[in-house]
Homo-oligomer: A and B are copies of this chain.
C-alpha cells in the first residue's frame, strides 16, 4: 500500500496496516556532507581511511539512514497531517552498512492505536519501521510513537 489520497487522522489508522515509502539514493557526497556535520567519524567522512576500517569502505552514518527513512515516511502523508510530534522511539537497530549509491526505502506497519483518555483530540500510534536497500535487504529497523490528532467531530 502506498500513501493515502486524503489526510488521515488517528481514527483512520489501525493495527496491522502496512505502508510503503518512495525510494531515495544516498550519494558519496551526501554521505560525507552529512557525516562532517553530524557524525564525523572517519568511516563516514574519509573514503580512503574507510577502506582500512572494519567496514572496508565508506558507509553512511546510521543517523543519515534514520533521517532518510523518516523523511520518506513523512512524504507518504500517512501521519503528516495529524502529527503532533513524538514522545520517543525504541529499538533502533542498524543491521547492515549503507554504502554510496544505495537506494533506501521504508516499509512501516501500525502496531497499535490508542486514543488518549485525558485529551479527546489526540492519541498515540505505535509504528514499526523497516529500512530496505535496493536488494531488498534490511539495513535498519526502529519503532516510533506518534502523537496524532483525532478526526474533529462535525458540529
Residues of A within 8 A of B (CB): 38-41, 43, 53-55, 59, 62-63, 66-67, 70-71, 74, 80, 83-94
Copies of this chain, whole number: 2
Q: Which residues of B contact A84 (CB under 8 A)?
A: 53-54
Q: Indicate if the CB atoms of B85 and A54 lie closer than 8 Å.
A: yes
Q: Indicate if the CB atoms of A87 and B91 lie closer than 8 Å.
A: no
User: Would you mind naming 5 contact pairs between A and B with Cβ atoms under 8 Å apart?
Assistant: A39-B70, A62-B86, A88-B93, A88-B94, A90-B92
Q: Which residues of B contact A66 (CB under 8 A)?
A: 63
In the complex the two chains form, what is the Cα distance from A94 to B84 in whole Å?
13
Chain B nearest CB: distance from A10 CB in Å?
14
Chain B nearest CB: distance from A140 CB in Å?
9
Residue of B nearest to A91 (CB): B90
Chain B nearest CB: distance from A148 CB in Å?
12
Cβ 8 A contact of A74, one of B40, B67, B93: B40
The verdict on A92 contacting B88 (CB below 8 Å), with A67-B38, A74-B40 known, is yes
